[in-house]
Amino acid sequence: MRSYDVLAESAAPPAVVWALLLDPRTWSAWSRAGELDVSSSSGLSPDGRDGVGAIRVFRSGKAVVRERITSLTPGRRFAYEGLESPHMADHQATIDLHEVPGGGTRIRWQGTYSARGMGRWSSEGHVQRTMSKVATGLAEYASSEIVR
């Protein structure tokens, strides 16, 4: 089993970061998940606040990633499992949000997975760097939301 554990900080408060995690329609703007495939997803909330059990499907070209929300601690922890991915199997991840003294949010995104397909050729370091970019993308996008 492989793992990653990354940190990022946002000037945005945890409520802003949390809202972005819950709304899969925003993920393509700040992550590498691809576009949300609404027709293949299930349990999506019309108000952008998906709950436990929601299955989100993202497409980037022919690549499909399907994930299920497994646990939510409002404003603090978002957990999901990968159901389908071209590069990862048995993927379990948690995203913890911590308010930073003086304002802002520390984002800790960690997970475990088994490599599959072309992912077998990727090092843990490569996945670590990729997930760091995703967490940083979330942090920066959330920061830009508070300016609007």
**Cβ–Cβ contacts within 10 Å for residue 106, how many?**
16
Determine the structural domain holding residue 134 and report its residue range.
2-147
The separation between CA 5 and the C-alpha centre of its own chain, rounded to angstroms, equals: 13
Strand, coil or helix: 48? coil
Residue 129: which residues within 8 A CB-CB, separation 6 or more?
Answer: none
Q: Quick one: what percent of the chain has pLDDT higher than 70?
A: 94
| Among 143, 142, 101, 144, residue whose Cα is nearest residue 18 | 142
CATH number at residue 29: 3.30.530.20
Q: What pLDDT is attached to residue 132?
A: 96
Distance CA 23, CA 45 (A): 8
Look at residue 119 and tell me whether its pLDDT is greater than 80: no
Contacts by 36-41, CB closer than 8 A, 24 or more apart: 37/64, 40/64, 40/66
Per the structure, how many domains does the chain have?
1
Q: Mean pLDDT across the stretch 25-51?
A: 94
